[in-house]
Structure 1
Protein backbone atom coordinates (compact mmCIF):
# COMPACT_ATOMS: atom_id res chain seq x y z
CA UNK A 1 0.00 0.00 0.00
CA UNK A 2 1.25 3.45 -0.91
CA UNK A 3 -0.15 6.48 0.94
CA UNK A 4 0.32 10.16 0.14
CA UNK A 5 -0.60 12.65 2.85
CA UNK A 6 -1.95 15.73 1.09
CA UNK A 7 -2.93 17.97 4.00
CA UNK A 8 -5.61 18.28 6.65
CA UNK A 9 -7.74 15.12 6.40
CA UNK A 10 -6.86 14.44 2.78
CA UNK A 11 -4.85 11.39 1.75
CA UNK A 12 -4.41 9.37 -1.42
CA UNK A 13 -4.12 5.59 -1.25
CA UNK A 14 -2.83 3.29 -4.00
CA UNK A 15 -3.51 -0.33 -3.13
CA UNK A 16 -3.53 -3.42 -5.36
CA UNK A 17 -4.59 -1.34 -8.35
CA UNK A 18 -7.25 0.66 -6.48
CA UNK A 19 -6.88 4.46 -6.25
CA UNK A 20 -8.68 5.97 -3.28
CA UNK A 21 -8.97 9.58 -2.10
CA UNK A 22 -10.09 10.59 1.40
CA UNK A 23 -11.92 13.78 2.41
CA UNK A 24 -10.91 15.97 -0.56
CA UNK A 25 -9.69 19.46 0.45
CA UNK A 26 -7.91 21.28 -2.38
CA UNK A 27 -8.69 24.97 -1.88
CA UNK A 28 -5.71 27.36 -1.56
CA UNK A 29 -4.97 28.75 1.91
CA UNK A 30 -6.09 32.07 3.32
CA UNK A 31 -9.87 31.88 3.30
CA UNK A 32 -12.08 31.83 6.39
CA UNK A 33 -15.03 29.42 6.21
CA UNK A 34 -18.22 29.52 8.24
CA UNK A 35 -19.16 26.33 10.05
CA UNK A 36 -22.52 27.69 11.21
CA UNK A 37 -23.87 28.91 14.55
CA UNK A 38 -21.16 31.57 14.87
CA UNK A 39 -18.22 29.23 14.26
CA UNK A 40 -15.54 29.63 11.62
CA UNK A 41 -12.04 28.51 10.70
CA UNK A 42 -9.24 29.81 8.50
CA UNK A 43 -7.43 27.50 6.11
CA UNK A 44 -3.74 27.97 6.85
CA UNK A 45 -2.01 25.77 4.28
CA UNK A 46 -2.86 24.49 0.83
CA UNK A 47 -2.72 20.95 -0.54
CA UNK A 48 0.71 19.41 -1.04
CA UNK A 49 -0.49 17.71 -4.25
CA UNK A 50 -3.01 18.90 -6.83
CA UNK A 51 -6.05 16.85 -7.68
CA UNK A 52 -4.93 16.64 -11.31
CA UNK A 53 -1.80 14.79 -10.19
CA UNK A 54 -3.90 12.02 -8.64
CA UNK A 55 -6.15 11.12 -11.57
CA UNK A 56 -7.69 8.71 -12.10
CA UNK A 57 -9.40 8.18 -8.74
CA UNK A 58 -11.67 5.16 -8.36
CA UNK A 59 -13.34 6.02 -5.06
CA UNK A 60 -13.54 9.12 -2.89
CA UNK A 61 -14.34 8.57 0.78
CA UNK A 62 -16.10 11.60 2.24
CA UNK A 63 -16.59 11.20 5.99
CA UNK A 64 -19.10 14.07 5.93
CA UNK A 65 -20.04 16.80 3.49
CA UNK A 66 -21.06 19.70 5.72
CA UNK A 67 -17.69 21.13 6.80
CA UNK A 68 -15.12 22.71 4.51
CA UNK A 69 -12.16 21.19 6.34
CA UNK A 70 -13.32 17.81 5.01
CA UNK A 71 -14.85 18.82 1.69
CA UNK A 72 -14.01 22.30 0.43
CA UNK A 73 -15.05 23.96 -2.80
CA UNK A 74 -12.20 22.63 -4.95
CA UNK A 75 -12.56 19.20 -3.42
CA UNK A 76 -16.29 19.15 -4.15
CA UNK A 77 -15.73 20.28 -7.75
CA UNK A 78 -13.01 17.66 -8.18
CA UNK A 79 -15.42 14.85 -7.33
CA UNK A 80 -16.68 15.12 -10.90
CA UNK A 81 -13.55 13.26 -12.03
CA UNK A 82 -13.92 10.48 -9.44
CA UNK A 83 -15.56 7.16 -10.28
CA UNK A 84 -17.64 6.71 -7.10
CA UNK A 85 -18.21 8.81 -3.99
CA UNK A 86 -19.01 7.13 -0.67
CA UNK A 87 -20.32 9.28 2.16
CA UNK A 88 -23.12 9.52 4.71
CA UNK A 89 -26.76 9.17 3.74
CA UNK A 90 -27.18 12.92 4.21
CA UNK A 91 -24.07 13.58 2.16
CA UNK A 92 -25.36 11.50 -0.74
CA UNK A 93 -28.38 13.80 -0.93
CA UNK A 94 -26.21 16.94 -0.89
CA UNK A 95 -23.38 15.96 -3.26
CA UNK A 96 -24.11 16.12 -6.97
CA UNK A 97 -22.40 13.16 -8.62
CA UNK A 98 -23.32 10.44 -11.11
CA UNK A 99 -22.44 7.68 -8.61
CA UNK A 100 -22.67 8.89 -5.02
CA UNK A 101 -23.69 6.37 -2.38
CA UNK A 102 -24.73 7.07 1.18
CA UNK A 103 -23.87 4.55 3.88
CA UNK A 104 -24.86 4.17 7.50
CA UNK A 105 -22.41 2.66 9.96
CA UNK A 106 -22.21 -1.07 9.32
CA UNK A 107 -23.31 -0.89 5.69
CA UNK A 108 -20.91 -2.02 2.95
CA UNK A 109 -20.37 -1.82 -0.77
CA UNK A 110 -18.08 -4.07 -2.83
CA UNK A 111 -16.20 -2.91 -5.91
CA UNK A 112 -14.98 -5.23 -8.63
CA UNK A 113 -12.62 -4.57 -11.53
CA UNK A 114 -10.74 -6.76 -13.95
CA UNK A 115 -7.25 -7.61 -12.74
CA UNK A 116 -7.83 -6.36 -9.22
CA UNK A 117 -9.02 -8.07 -6.04
CA UNK A 118 -12.55 -7.20 -4.96
CA UNK A 119 -12.60 -4.27 -2.55
CA UNK A 120 -15.24 -4.06 0.18
CA UNK A 121 -15.72 -0.73 1.93
CA UNK A 122 -17.72 -0.59 5.16
CA UNK A 123 -18.92 2.56 6.89
CA UNK A 124 -17.76 2.70 10.51
CA UNK A 125 -19.21 4.53 13.54
CA UNK A 126 -18.38 8.16 14.18
CA UNK A 127 -19.65 10.99 16.35
CA UNK A 128 -18.52 14.51 15.51
CA UNK A 129 -18.55 15.89 19.06
CA UNK A 130 -20.73 15.57 22.15
CA UNK A 131 -24.12 13.87 21.85
CA UNK A 132 -25.89 17.21 22.31
CA UNK A 133 -24.11 18.72 19.32
CA UNK A 134 -25.16 16.11 16.76
CA UNK A 135 -28.20 18.06 15.52
CA UNK A 136 -25.82 20.96 14.84
CA UNK A 137 -22.75 19.23 13.39
CA UNK A 138 -24.57 16.43 11.57
CA UNK A 139 -23.64 12.81 10.82
CA UNK A 140 -20.17 11.44 10.11
CA UNK A 141 -18.76 8.01 9.29
CA UNK A 142 -15.36 6.40 8.91
CA UNK A 143 -14.49 3.70 6.40
CA UNK A 144 -12.87 0.26 6.67
CA UNK A 145 -11.46 -1.22 3.45
CA UNK A 146 -10.93 -4.94 3.01
CA UNK A 147 -9.63 -6.93 0.04
CA UNK A 148 -11.26 -10.21 -0.87
CA UNK A 149 -10.04 -13.10 1.25
CA UNK A 150 -8.61 -10.90 4.03
CA UNK A 151 -9.64 -11.44 7.64
CA UNK A 152 -8.98 -7.86 8.71
CA UNK A 153 -9.22 -4.49 6.97
CA UNK A 154 -6.16 -3.33 5.14
CA UNK A 155 -7.11 0.29 5.77
CA UNK A 156 -9.27 2.11 8.29
CA UNK A 157 -10.03 5.83 8.03
CA UNK A 158 -11.63 6.98 11.29
CA UNK A 159 -13.23 10.17 9.95
CA UNK A 160 -13.80 13.16 12.21
CA UNK A 161 -14.93 11.65 15.49
CA UNK A 162 -14.55 11.57 19.23
CA UNK A 163 -14.48 8.41 21.30
CA UNK A 164 -17.91 6.86 21.82
CA UNK A 165 -19.29 3.52 22.93
CA UNK A 166 -20.17 2.37 19.38
CA UNK A 167 -16.70 3.34 18.18
CA UNK A 168 -15.01 1.48 21.02
CA UNK A 169 -17.06 -1.63 20.28
CA UNK A 170 -16.27 -1.47 16.59
CA UNK A 171 -12.55 -0.77 17.01
CA UNK A 172 -11.77 -3.51 19.54
CA UNK A 173 -9.34 -5.96 17.92
CA UNK A 174 -10.10 -4.59 14.45
CA UNK A 175 -6.40 -4.96 13.59
CA UNK A 176 -6.26 -2.98 10.33
CA UNK A 177 -2.94 -2.96 8.55
CA UNK A 178 -3.03 0.85 8.32
CA UNK A 179 -5.19 3.34 10.21
CA UNK A 180 -5.64 6.94 9.07
CA UNK A 181 -6.55 8.53 12.40
CA UNK A 182 -8.20 11.97 12.41
CA UNK A 183 -7.11 14.05 15.39
CA UNK A 184 -6.68 17.83 15.83
CA UNK A 185 -8.96 18.30 18.88
CA UNK A 186 -11.29 20.66 17.00
CA UNK A 187 -12.71 23.42 19.19
CA UNK A 188 -14.60 26.67 18.72
CA UNK A 189 -14.65 29.56 21.14
CA UNK A 190 -18.43 29.72 21.19
CA UNK A 191 -18.72 26.14 22.53
CA UNK A 192 -15.89 26.39 25.05
CA UNK A 193 -14.16 23.15 26.01
CA UNK A 194 -16.28 20.91 23.79
CA UNK A 195 -14.19 19.00 21.27
CA UNK A 196 -15.42 17.79 17.91
CA UNK A 197 -12.53 15.46 17.01
CA UNK A 198 -10.12 13.36 19.02
CA UNK A 199 -7.10 14.82 20.72
CA UNK A 200 -3.95 12.70 20.75
CA UNK A 201 -4.74 11.06 24.10
CA UNK A 202 -8.14 9.89 22.89
CA UNK A 203 -6.47 8.67 19.72
CA UNK A 204 -4.07 6.60 21.81
CA UNK A 205 -7.04 4.92 23.49
CA UNK A 206 -8.52 4.07 20.11
CA UNK A 207 -5.18 2.82 18.77
CA UNK A 208 -4.76 0.53 21.78
CA UNK A 209 -8.21 -0.94 21.13
CA UNK A 210 -7.87 -1.35 17.37
CA UNK A 211 -4.25 -2.60 17.31
CA UNK A 212 -3.38 -1.33 13.81
CA UNK A 213 -0.10 -2.31 12.24
CA UNK A 214 0.65 1.30 11.25
CA UNK A 215 -0.98 4.53 12.40
CA UNK A 216 -0.87 7.58 10.12
CA UNK A 217 -2.00 10.75 11.94
CA UNK A 218 -4.00 13.12 9.73
CA UNK A 219 -6.31 16.10 10.30
CA UNK A 220 -3.67 17.67 12.57
CA UNK A 221 -2.58 20.74 10.61
CA UNK A 222 -3.67 23.32 8.10
CA UNK A 223 -6.73 24.81 9.86
CA UNK A 224 -7.07 27.33 12.66
CA UNK A 225 -9.79 25.43 14.56
CA UNK A 226 -7.49 22.49 15.29
CA UNK A 227 -6.66 23.21 18.92
CA UNK A 228 -3.94 20.54 18.96
CA UNK A 229 -1.75 21.01 15.90
CA UNK A 230 0.92 18.63 14.59
CA UNK A 231 3.79 19.47 16.97
CA UNK A 232 1.61 19.08 20.08
CA UNK A 233 0.15 15.85 18.69
CA UNK A 234 3.64 14.46 18.05
CA UNK A 235 4.67 15.19 21.64
CA UNK A 236 1.78 13.16 23.04
CA UNK A 237 2.14 10.24 20.62
CA UNK A 238 5.89 10.02 21.12
CA UNK A 239 5.34 9.76 24.87
CA UNK A 240 2.98 6.80 24.53
CA UNK A 241 3.92 3.28 25.63
CA UNK A 242 6.45 1.78 23.23
CA UNK A 243 4.06 -0.84 21.86
CA UNK A 244 1.71 1.92 20.70
CA UNK A 245 4.22 4.65 19.84
CA UNK A 246 6.18 2.42 17.51
CA UNK A 247 3.11 1.94 15.28
CA UNK A 248 2.88 5.69 14.54
CA UNK A 249 4.24 6.80 11.17
CA UNK A 250 4.34 10.49 10.33
CA UNK A 251 4.19 10.88 6.59
CA UNK A 252 5.79 13.92 4.95
CA UNK A 253 3.30 16.05 3.08
CA UNK A 254 3.16 15.39 -0.64
CA UNK A 255 5.35 12.29 -0.66
CA UNK A 256 4.03 8.83 -1.60
CA UNK A 257 5.19 6.37 1.08
CA UNK A 258 5.08 2.59 0.92
CA UNK A 259 3.54 1.15 4.08
CA UNK A 260 3.75 -2.48 5.18
Structure 2
Protein backbone atom coordinates (compact mmCIF):
# COMPACT_ATOMS: atom_id res chain seq x y z
CA UNK A 1 0.00 0.00 0.00
CA UNK A 2 1.22 3.50 -0.87
CA UNK A 3 0.41 6.48 1.32
CA UNK A 4 0.36 10.01 -0.11
CA UNK A 5 0.09 13.29 1.74
CA UNK A 6 -2.13 15.80 -0.06
CA UNK A 7 -2.54 19.44 0.96
CA UNK A 8 -5.23 21.59 -0.64
CA UNK A 9 -3.63 25.02 -0.88
CA UNK A 10 -6.71 26.66 -2.44
CA UNK A 11 -8.50 26.74 -5.79
CA UNK A 12 -6.94 24.04 -7.99
CA UNK A 13 -3.61 24.15 -6.18
CA UNK A 14 -2.58 21.04 -4.25
CA UNK A 15 0.72 19.79 -2.87
CA UNK A 16 1.16 16.04 -3.35
CA UNK A 17 3.92 14.31 -1.38
CA UNK A 18 4.65 10.65 -1.98
CA UNK A 19 7.75 8.43 -1.73
CA UNK A 20 10.10 11.41 -1.60
CA UNK A 21 8.40 13.26 -4.46
CA UNK A 22 6.77 16.68 -4.11
CA UNK A 23 4.34 17.61 -6.87
CA UNK A 24 2.36 20.84 -7.13
CA UNK A 25 -0.76 21.23 -9.26
CA UNK A 26 -1.85 24.48 -10.96
CA UNK A 27 0.07 27.00 -8.79
CA UNK A 28 -2.03 30.01 -7.73
CA UNK A 29 -0.54 32.18 -4.98
CA UNK A 30 -1.65 35.76 -5.72
CA UNK A 31 -3.49 37.59 -2.92
CA UNK A 32 -7.27 38.07 -3.24
CA UNK A 33 -9.09 41.13 -4.51
CA UNK A 34 -7.94 41.42 -8.10
CA UNK A 35 -10.08 40.97 -11.22
CA UNK A 36 -8.55 38.88 -13.99
CA UNK A 37 -9.65 38.77 -17.63
CA UNK A 38 -10.33 35.41 -19.24
CA UNK A 39 -10.89 36.63 -22.80
CA UNK A 40 -13.93 37.40 -24.94
CA UNK A 41 -15.33 39.77 -22.31
CA UNK A 42 -15.24 37.27 -19.44
CA UNK A 43 -13.54 37.97 -16.12
CA UNK A 44 -13.47 36.87 -12.49
CA UNK A 45 -12.41 38.26 -9.11
CA UNK A 46 -10.17 36.25 -6.83
CA UNK A 47 -12.01 36.13 -3.51
CA UNK A 48 -9.61 34.12 -1.32
CA UNK A 49 -5.87 33.78 -1.05
CA UNK A 50 -3.84 30.60 -0.67
CA UNK A 51 -3.78 28.78 2.65
CA UNK A 52 -0.01 28.39 2.24
CA UNK A 53 2.23 31.15 0.91
CA UNK A 54 4.51 30.47 -2.01
CA UNK A 55 7.53 31.06 0.24
CA UNK A 56 6.29 28.38 2.65
CA UNK A 57 6.45 25.61 0.07
CA UNK A 58 9.07 22.87 0.23
CA UNK A 59 11.30 22.26 -2.78
CA UNK A 60 9.00 21.21 -5.63
CA UNK A 61 10.11 18.42 -7.97
CA UNK A 62 7.44 18.97 -10.61
CA UNK A 63 4.46 21.16 -11.40
CA UNK A 64 1.50 19.48 -13.10
CA UNK A 65 -0.11 22.41 -14.90
CA UNK A 66 -3.47 21.59 -16.48
CA UNK A 67 -3.31 24.82 -18.50
CA UNK A 68 -1.45 28.09 -18.43
CA UNK A 69 -3.88 30.52 -20.08
CA UNK A 70 -6.25 31.23 -17.16
CA UNK A 71 -5.18 33.03 -13.99
CA UNK A 72 -7.28 30.81 -11.71
CA UNK A 73 -4.94 27.96 -12.68
CA UNK A 74 -1.69 29.89 -13.10
CA UNK A 75 -1.47 33.41 -11.68
CA UNK A 76 1.46 35.80 -11.52
CA UNK A 77 3.00 34.38 -8.34
CA UNK A 78 2.52 30.84 -9.63
CA UNK A 79 4.12 31.73 -12.95
CA UNK A 80 7.16 33.17 -11.16
CA UNK A 81 7.50 29.90 -9.23
CA UNK A 82 7.86 27.79 -12.38
CA UNK A 83 11.49 28.78 -12.91
CA UNK A 84 12.36 27.33 -9.48
CA UNK A 85 10.89 23.84 -9.84
CA UNK A 86 12.46 20.73 -11.31
CA UNK A 87 9.99 19.99 -14.13
CA UNK A 88 6.82 21.57 -15.52
CA UNK A 89 4.38 19.34 -17.38
CA UNK A 90 1.47 20.95 -19.24
CA UNK A 91 -0.35 21.07 -22.60
CA UNK A 92 1.56 21.15 -25.88
CA UNK A 93 0.36 24.72 -26.52
CA UNK A 94 1.25 25.74 -22.97
CA UNK A 95 4.76 24.31 -23.29
CA UNK A 96 5.29 26.37 -26.45
CA UNK A 97 4.20 29.53 -24.60
CA UNK A 98 6.21 28.85 -21.45
CA UNK A 99 9.34 27.66 -23.25
CA UNK A 100 12.47 26.39 -21.57
CA UNK A 101 12.43 22.79 -20.36
CA UNK A 102 8.62 22.62 -20.11
CA UNK A 103 7.20 19.23 -21.13
CA UNK A 104 4.11 19.43 -23.35
CA UNK A 105 1.73 16.48 -23.51
CA UNK A 106 -1.23 15.79 -25.77
CA UNK A 107 -4.09 13.69 -24.35
CA UNK A 108 -2.97 10.09 -23.68
CA UNK A 109 0.72 10.95 -24.09
CA UNK A 110 2.98 9.68 -21.30
CA UNK A 111 5.95 11.21 -19.50
CA UNK A 112 8.03 9.57 -16.78
CA UNK A 113 9.70 11.43 -13.93
CA UNK A 114 12.85 9.75 -12.61
CA UNK A 115 15.18 10.68 -9.75
CA UNK A 116 17.87 8.56 -8.02
CA UNK A 117 16.57 6.82 -4.93
CA UNK A 118 12.89 7.34 -5.74
CA UNK A 119 10.32 5.26 -7.60
CA UNK A 120 9.56 6.49 -11.12
CA UNK A 121 6.33 8.44 -11.62
CA UNK A 122 4.43 7.74 -14.82
CA UNK A 123 2.26 10.67 -15.89
CA UNK A 124 -0.47 10.10 -18.47
CA UNK A 125 -2.20 13.18 -19.88
CA UNK A 126 -5.99 12.82 -20.03
CA UNK A 127 -8.56 14.69 -22.14
CA UNK A 128 -10.44 17.81 -21.03
CA UNK A 129 -12.87 20.23 -22.66
CA UNK A 130 -13.07 23.49 -20.76
CA UNK A 131 -16.57 24.44 -21.90
CA UNK A 132 -19.47 23.54 -24.18
CA UNK A 133 -19.06 21.99 -27.65
CA UNK A 134 -16.93 24.07 -30.06
CA UNK A 135 -15.51 26.17 -27.20
CA UNK A 136 -11.95 24.87 -27.40
CA UNK A 137 -10.90 27.61 -29.82
CA UNK A 138 -11.94 30.20 -27.22
CA UNK A 139 -11.02 28.57 -23.90
CA UNK A 140 -7.88 26.80 -25.15
CA UNK A 141 -6.40 23.38 -24.48
CA UNK A 142 -6.54 21.75 -21.05
CA UNK A 143 -5.34 18.35 -19.84
CA UNK A 144 -5.66 16.23 -16.73
CA UNK A 145 -3.01 13.93 -15.27
CA UNK A 146 -3.10 10.31 -14.14
CA UNK A 147 -0.05 9.65 -11.95
CA UNK A 148 1.15 6.11 -11.28
CA UNK A 149 4.06 4.66 -9.33
CA UNK A 150 5.11 1.22 -8.03
CA UNK A 151 3.27 0.06 -4.94
CA UNK A 152 -0.13 1.62 -5.65
CA UNK A 153 -2.85 -0.67 -4.34
CA UNK A 154 -6.02 1.16 -5.40
CA UNK A 155 -5.08 2.67 -8.78
CA UNK A 156 -3.71 5.91 -10.17
CA UNK A 157 -3.99 9.36 -8.64
CA UNK A 158 -5.93 11.44 -11.19
CA UNK A 159 -6.12 15.23 -11.43
CA UNK A 160 -9.22 15.85 -13.57
CA UNK A 161 -8.37 19.35 -14.81
CA UNK A 162 -10.95 22.02 -15.65
CA UNK A 163 -13.53 20.28 -17.82
CA UNK A 164 -17.19 19.74 -18.42
CA UNK A 165 -18.45 16.16 -18.50
CA UNK A 166 -18.23 14.86 -22.06
CA UNK A 167 -17.15 11.76 -23.98
CA UNK A 168 -13.43 12.46 -23.75
CA UNK A 169 -13.55 12.77 -19.97
CA UNK A 170 -15.55 9.56 -19.68
CA UNK A 171 -12.75 7.76 -21.54
CA UNK A 172 -10.62 8.08 -18.40
CA UNK A 173 -12.58 5.10 -17.11
CA UNK A 174 -10.29 2.92 -19.24
CA UNK A 175 -7.60 3.62 -16.61
CA UNK A 176 -7.61 2.20 -13.11
CA UNK A 177 -8.25 5.26 -10.93
CA UNK A 178 -8.04 5.05 -7.15
CA UNK A 179 -8.01 8.70 -6.09
CA UNK A 180 -9.48 11.73 -7.89
CA UNK A 181 -8.65 15.39 -7.39
CA UNK A 182 -11.94 16.56 -8.90
CA UNK A 183 -12.25 20.07 -10.35
CA UNK A 184 -15.83 21.26 -9.82
CA UNK A 185 -17.45 24.70 -9.36
CA UNK A 186 -19.79 24.88 -12.40
CA UNK A 187 -17.98 27.94 -13.79
CA UNK A 188 -20.21 30.51 -15.50
CA UNK A 189 -19.68 34.03 -16.84
CA UNK A 190 -22.32 36.72 -17.22
CA UNK A 191 -21.29 37.40 -20.81
CA UNK A 192 -22.06 33.80 -21.86
CA UNK A 193 -25.23 33.33 -19.79
CA UNK A 194 -26.11 29.74 -18.83
CA UNK A 195 -23.09 28.12 -20.51
CA UNK A 196 -20.86 26.25 -18.06
CA UNK A 197 -17.12 25.66 -18.27
CA UNK A 198 -16.53 23.12 -15.48
CA UNK A 199 -18.53 20.32 -13.89
CA UNK A 200 -21.41 20.57 -11.45
CA UNK A 201 -21.60 18.28 -8.44
CA UNK A 202 -24.14 16.11 -10.25
CA UNK A 203 -21.77 15.63 -13.18
CA UNK A 204 -18.94 14.90 -10.77
CA UNK A 205 -21.07 12.17 -9.21
CA UNK A 206 -21.77 10.64 -12.63
CA UNK A 207 -18.09 10.66 -13.54
CA UNK A 208 -16.88 9.24 -10.22
CA UNK A 209 -19.53 6.51 -10.32
CA UNK A 210 -18.18 5.53 -13.73
CA UNK A 211 -14.58 5.53 -12.51
CA UNK A 212 -15.39 3.64 -9.28
CA UNK A 213 -12.66 5.63 -7.55
CA UNK A 214 -11.97 4.80 -3.90
CA UNK A 215 -11.30 8.41 -2.83
CA UNK A 216 -12.73 11.63 -4.30
CA UNK A 217 -11.20 14.94 -3.21
CA UNK A 218 -13.02 18.00 -4.60
CA UNK A 219 -10.90 21.03 -5.49
CA UNK A 220 -11.34 24.26 -7.44
CA UNK A 221 -14.89 24.98 -6.29
CA UNK A 222 -14.25 28.12 -4.19
CA UNK A 223 -12.29 31.34 -4.02
CA UNK A 224 -13.35 32.95 -7.32
CA UNK A 225 -16.45 34.86 -8.39
CA UNK A 226 -17.00 32.77 -11.54
CA UNK A 227 -17.99 29.65 -9.59
CA UNK A 228 -21.75 29.14 -9.64
CA UNK A 229 -21.78 26.09 -7.32
CA UNK A 230 -19.75 25.82 -4.14
CA UNK A 231 -19.18 23.09 -1.60
CA UNK A 232 -22.77 22.89 -0.34
CA UNK A 233 -24.24 22.20 -3.79
CA UNK A 234 -21.65 19.55 -4.57
CA UNK A 235 -22.13 17.96 -1.14
CA UNK A 236 -25.87 17.63 -1.76
CA UNK A 237 -25.28 15.99 -5.14
CA UNK A 238 -22.88 13.42 -3.70
CA UNK A 239 -25.16 12.75 -0.70
CA UNK A 240 -28.13 12.03 -2.98
CA UNK A 241 -25.98 9.41 -4.71
CA UNK A 242 -24.88 7.89 -1.42
CA UNK A 243 -21.26 8.95 -1.99
CA UNK A 244 -19.00 10.72 0.47
CA UNK A 245 -16.15 12.81 -0.96
CA UNK A 246 -13.20 13.80 1.20
CA UNK A 247 -13.18 17.56 1.74
CA UNK A 248 -9.67 18.55 2.77
CA UNK A 249 -9.28 21.44 5.18
CA UNK A 250 -7.35 24.15 3.37
CA UNK A 251 -3.68 24.16 4.28
CA UNK A 252 -3.87 20.96 6.35
CA UNK A 253 -2.14 17.85 4.95
CA UNK A 254 -4.34 14.79 4.58
CA UNK A 255 -3.07 11.22 4.38
CA UNK A 256 -4.57 9.24 1.50
CA UNK A 257 -4.11 5.52 0.82
CA UNK A 258 -3.41 5.05 -2.87
TM-score, normalising length: structure 2: 0.94
Asked if 1:183 corresponds to 2:180, the answer is: no
In 1: Cα distance, 2:178 partner to 2:122 partner: 15
CA distance in 1, matches of 2:208, 2:230: 19
**1:211 Cα deviation (Å)?**
1.2
The one of 69, 76, 81 equivalent to 2:79 is 76
Conservation of the 8 A alpha-carbon contact between 2:5 and 2:253: yes
**Aligned ranges 1:177-216 → 2 under 5 Å:** 177-216=178-217
Partner Cα separation in structure 2 for residue 17 and residue 38 of structure 1: 43
Equivalent residues in 2 for 1:28-43, closer than 5 Å: 28-43=31-46
Q: Deviation string for 1:65-87 (max 9, x for gaps)?
A: 11000001111111111110000
Secondary structure class of the residue paired with 1:234: helix
| Paired residues, number | 254
Taking structure 1 as the reference length, the TM-score comes to: 0.94
Q: Give 2:29's aligned residue.
A: 26
What's the C-alpha RMSD, in Å, of the aligned pairs?
Answer: 1.4
Deviation at 1:232, TM superposition (A): 2.1
Contact 1:175 1:213 in 2 (8 A): no
Pairwise CA distance, 1:127? 0.5
Structure 2 residue runs of 5 or longer lacking an equivalent are none
Deviation (angstroms), 1:175: 3.6
Give runs of aligned pairs for residues 1-260 of structure 1, distance below 5 A: 1-96=4-99, 98-148=100-150, 153-172=155-174, 174-241=175-242, 245-246=243-244, 248-260=245-257
Between stretches 29-38 and 175-184, larger displacement belongs to 175-184
Superimposed CA distance per residue, residues 7-49 of structure 1 (whole angstroms, 9 cap, x where no aligned partner): 1111000011110000110000000000111100000000001
Q: Deviations over 1:149-197 (max 9, x none)?
A: 658743100000011112212225x342211000000001111111100
Q: Secondary structure at the match of 1:3?
A: strand
Q: Give the SS at the match of 2:232.
A: helix
1:137 CA displacement:
0.3
Residues 91 and 104, structure 2, Cα contact 8 Å, conserved in 1: yes
Alignment partners' CA distance in 2, 1:177 and 1:170: 12
CA contact (8 A) 2:66 2:91 kept: yes
